[in-house]
């Protein structure tokens, strides 16, 4: 099963990605979690200890590897390089395993909105496609805000895209925009997941104001999330309430 997690910055994508990844890993599944945020922080939410975090390097920043595979130095524009470099060994070679979750950091390329054609962009794009195409038990993509960067391949291979929302009109507005963008490229298997829900009223607000997205479930607001981060403990272990809400959603996703 391949899951993409999207939503506005700060709504809790990384928190949800970490919770789902740990749930499936504990259930004995093979999990690959991919941090596709320009400033990676999934390792923190998963409670990776410092010595393992040191082993993680975003692929986009591996200049020597990019040059070896594409034939050109990152940052060069206009030269010759291969646009479909070899990437099949990358997920295993550069991911780091902790408590059953394999984590890969993608990093990002500043394309300046122009869809730049440069070696590092070719590398990331090919790797992203490879991850979508290949057989994977559970793949969880922690995306950043929009879905503009998702291509047609996403539509065919992503089993579900989860859009995280807070119980505010603004957040629901962003979810509506993401839904539109996703629908534009043909992605229709979309779910809304509420986060930072403080009471029944807020949960109901999500139900009644959903922009036509089914509500998969919601996670309560809990100060433990920040505490876990400070203490370097996985949210999944430290905050039972979030673990419980996640389990139900994780099981429902498998039924789809």
Binding of ligand ADP at residue 112 (CB under 6 A)?
Answer: no
Binding of ligand ADP at residue 10 (CB under 6 A)?
Answer: yes
Binding of ligand ADP at residue 4 (CB under 6 A)?
Answer: no
- Tokens linked to 6: 């999207």
Binding of Mg ion at residue 37 (CB under 5 A)?
Answer: yes
When the beta carbons of 64 and 200 are compared against ligand ADP, the nearer one is: 200
Are 137 and 30 in contact by the 8 Å Cβ rule? The answer is yes
Q: Which residues contact 87 (CB under 8 A, 6 or more apart)?
A: 69, 123, 126, 127, 130
> Parallel, antiparallel, or unpaired: how do β-strands 2-6 and 31-35 relate?
unpaired
Binding of ligand ADP at residue 9 (CB under 6 A)?
Answer: yes
Binding of ligand ADP at residue 70 (CB under 6 A)?
Answer: no
Tell me which of Mg ion, ligand ADP, none is bound by residue 229, counting a contact when its beta carbon lies within the kind-specific cut-off of 5 to 8 angstroms: ligand ADP
CA distance 238 to 231: 10
Binding of ligand ADP at residue 243 (CB under 6 A)?
Answer: no
Number of residues that bind Mg ion (CB under 5 A): 3
Single out the residue of 93, 5, 95, 1 nearest to residue 48, CA to CA. Answer: 95
Nearest distance from C-beta of residue 158 to ligand ADP, angstroms: 18
Nearest distance from C-beta of residue 226 to ligand ADP, angstroms: 4
Please return the burial class of 51, using the count of CB atoms within 10 Å of its CB with bins 0-12, 13-18 and 19+: exposed
Binding of ligand ADP at residue 196 (CB under 6 A)?
Answer: yes
Binding of Mg ion at residue 15 (CB under 5 A)?
Answer: no
CA distance 133 to 121: 18
Binding of ligand ADP at residue 154 (CB under 6 A)?
Answer: no
Binding of ligand ADP at residue 35 (CB under 6 A)?
Answer: no
Tell me which stretch binds Mg ion (CB under 5 A): 31-39, 65-73, 162-170, 244-252.
31-39
Helices 13-26 and 240-255 cross at an angle (nearest 10°) of 70
Nearest distance from C-beta of residue 246 to Mg ion, angstroms: 16
Residue from the set 219, 249, 250, 253 that interacts with ligand ADP by CB under 6 A: 219
Tell me which of ligand ADP, Mg ion, none is bound by residue 38, counting a contact when its beta carbon lies within the kind-specific cut-off of 5 to 8 angstroms: none
Binding of Mg ion at residue 229 (CB under 5 A)?
Answer: no
Tell me which of ligand ADP, Mg ion, none is bound by residue 180, counting a contact when its beta carbon lies within the kind-specific cut-off of 5 to 8 angstroms: none
Question: Looking at the chain, how many residues does it have?
Answer: 256
List of residues contacting Mg ion (CB under 5 A): 13-14, 37
List of residues contacting ligand ADP (CB under 6 A): 7, 9-15, 41, 195-196, 219, 221-222, 225-226, 229
């Amino acid at each position: 099963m391949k899951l993409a997690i999207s939503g506005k910055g700060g709504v809790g994508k990384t928190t949800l990605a970490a919770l789902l990844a740990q749930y499936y890993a504990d259930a004995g599944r093979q999990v690959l979690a991919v941090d596709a945020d320009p400033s990676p922080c999934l390792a923190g939410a998963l409670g990776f200890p410092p010595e393992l975090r040191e082993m993680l390097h975003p692929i986009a920043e591996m200049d020597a590897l990019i040059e070896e595979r594409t034939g050109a130095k990152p940052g060069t524009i206009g030269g010759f390089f291969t646009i479909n470099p070899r990437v099949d060994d990358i997920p295993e070679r550069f991911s780091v395993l902790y408590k059953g979750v394999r984590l890969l950091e993608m990093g990002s390329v500043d394309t300046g909105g122009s869809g730049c054609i440069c070696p590092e962009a070719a590398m990331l794009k090919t790797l992203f496609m490879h991850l979508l195409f290949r057989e994977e038990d559970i793949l969880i993509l922690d995306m950043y805000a929009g879905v503009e960067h998702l291509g047609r391949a996403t539509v065919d291979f992503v089993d579900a895209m989860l859009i995280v929302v807070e119980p505010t009109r603004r957040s629901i507005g962003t979810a509506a925009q993401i839904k539109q963008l996703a629908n534009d490229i043909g992605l229709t298997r979309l779910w809304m997941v509420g986060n930072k829900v403080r009471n029944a009223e807020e949960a109901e607000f999500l139900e009644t104001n959903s922009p036509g997205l089914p509500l998969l479930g919601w996670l309560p607001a809990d100060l433990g999330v920040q505490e876990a981060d400070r203490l370097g403990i996985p949210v999944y272990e430290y905050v039972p309430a979030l673990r419980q809400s996640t389990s139900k959603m994780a099981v429902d996703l498998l039924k789809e």
